[in-house]
Amino acid sequence: MKKLDLVGWAAIAEIIGSAAVILSLVFVGISIQQNTAVYRATNDNLLYEMSDAWYSDLATNPELNRIWAKFVGGDSLTDADKATVSSQLMRSLNVWELAYIRFHDGLMPPDQWDMWNRINEDWIRSGGIPQELWTPLRSDFNARFVQYVDSIYESK
């Protein structure tokens, strides 16, 4: 068996080094996939928690429930009732806006965005969020989201 000279040892070291780099890149790729999955799950949890808090408040606060029922039923609202409804709409729209931003930043899968978006688009198209209530709230939202929601009202 022939003894390796310095060039031979260097070649072996280069092969081992290349294999180590490839192996480390595989581990980095796996880690990125796992981190993305964790981030998406955290994002989903946040959206569902925000939405759940909104529904929970409606279910556990009789006065809020009464005002919301008047709003949904098309009954006339006092100025205080309108302020309450606007506040609740802001909370709901905040969830949609967050989903919109996360989707457009590539942080939400298309099928999940479609679900959040469809619910809210349908709500607008059915008159659930009258444009006269949306208009004064517009300034509190991301400009791209405002353009998106405005386009839904325009296409009604």
Q: Is 48 exposed, middle or buried (0-12, 13-18, 19+ CB in 10 A)?
A: exposed
In degrees and rounded to multiples of 5, residue 76 shows phi and psi of -70, 145
Q: Is residue 126 predicted with pLDDT exceeding 80?
A: yes
pLDDT at 1: 60
Position of tokens 């009464």?
66
Q: Is 67 in contact with 84 (CB distance < 8 Å)?
A: yes
pLDDT at 106: 86
In degrees and rounded to multiples of 5, residue 75 shows phi and psi of -75, 160
User: pTM of the prediction?
Assistant: 0.74
Q: Higher-confidence residue: 107 or 148?
A: 148
The tokens describing 6, both together, are 């310095």
User: Can you tell me the distance from the alpha carbon of 43 to that of 95, in angstroms, rounded to the nearest whole number?
Assistant: 11
- In tens, the pLDDT along 51-92 reads 999 999 999 999 999 999 999 999 999 999 999 999 999 999
How many CB atoms are located within 10 Å of the residue 50 CB?
16
Mean pLDDT taken over the chain: 90
pLDDT at 43: 79
pLDDT at 33: 82
